[in-house]
Amino acid sequence: MGSLILARHSTTEASAAGRNLGQRSDLPLAPAGVELAGHLGVALAAELDELPHDELRILTSPARRCRETAEAIAGPLGVVPSRIEVEAGLLEIDYGDWDGLTAEECTARDPELRARWEADPYETRCPNGESGRDVAERSFAVLEPLEAWLAEDRARCAVVIAHNHVNRVRLCALFGWPMREYRQRLAQDPAGYNLIGFGGTTPVVRRVNAAPS
């Protein structure tokens, strides 16, 4: 059973402040995020020690915060940074006019739209931005072929560094939960990671939002 480690990027100043960080800002990791990304690399190396992985791939969103996280874990995983695969489909949701705002500021700006989005973020688009469905359509086009590749050989492993919404819509689909509930049912903390096995009749979820120690 091939293994997918799906992780969220480490901490930025925006995530630490509870502000939306989508596609319209490209912030680096905060100093604390650089340290946390190092811990993630150590944690994932320990996970891989327990998993067969004759073939190992690292994929990342092109966002700077993801690329910096991917580069931080590459060394502990024995991967040359030039082999990291950058996939545009893994970008975070486009928050549109809500980019950079807190949840409270979004509600004050667009109370009715925000209420609809809170009730069903999968079908409701951010103002001049994306919905969860939009995120799923482009990110699943990257993740599903990767999962099929993993399922072909138990000695294959892939680490994907992506984003809050990307990870939650994928996990929600794998669990078979209603997609409108992906924000209600799942959390993805900075540098939190998920471990899923592929190759049997159904995916096997072994970790959800595990924190690097």
Sorted by where each begins, the domain ranges of the chain are 2-210
Mean pLDDT of 58-83: 97
pLDDT score of 193: 98
pLDDT of residue 213: 77
pLDDT for residue 106: 98
Q: How confident is the model at residue 200 (pLDDT cuts 50, 70, 90)?
A: confident
The amino acid present at 31, given as its one-letter code, is P
**pTM of the predicted structure, to 2 decimals:** 0.97
Compute the mean pLDDT over every residue in the chain, rounded to the nearest whole number: 97
Q: What tokens does 22 get?
A: 């989508």
- Helix and strand counts by DSSP (H, E) for the chain: 8, 6
User: What average pLDDT does this structure show over 102-129?
Assistant: 98
Residue 150 has pLDDT above 80, yes or no: yes
Task: Please name which of 191, 210, 185 lies closest in space to residue 16, comparing C-alpha atoms.
Answer: 191
Domain 2-210 indexed as CATH 3.40.718.10: no
**Residue 55 reports pLDDT greater than 90:** yes
Strand order in the sheet with 204-210: 85-86, 55-60, 156-162, 2-8, 193-198, 204-210
**Mean pLDDT score, 132-158:** 97
7-32 pLDDT, tens digit per residue, is 999 999 998 999 999 999 899 999 99
pLDDT above 80 for 151: yes
Asked if 12 and 30 count as a contact pair (C-beta separation under 8 A), the reply is: yes
* Residue 52: per-residue pLDDT: 86
Give the mean model confidence (pLDDT) for residues 204-212: 97
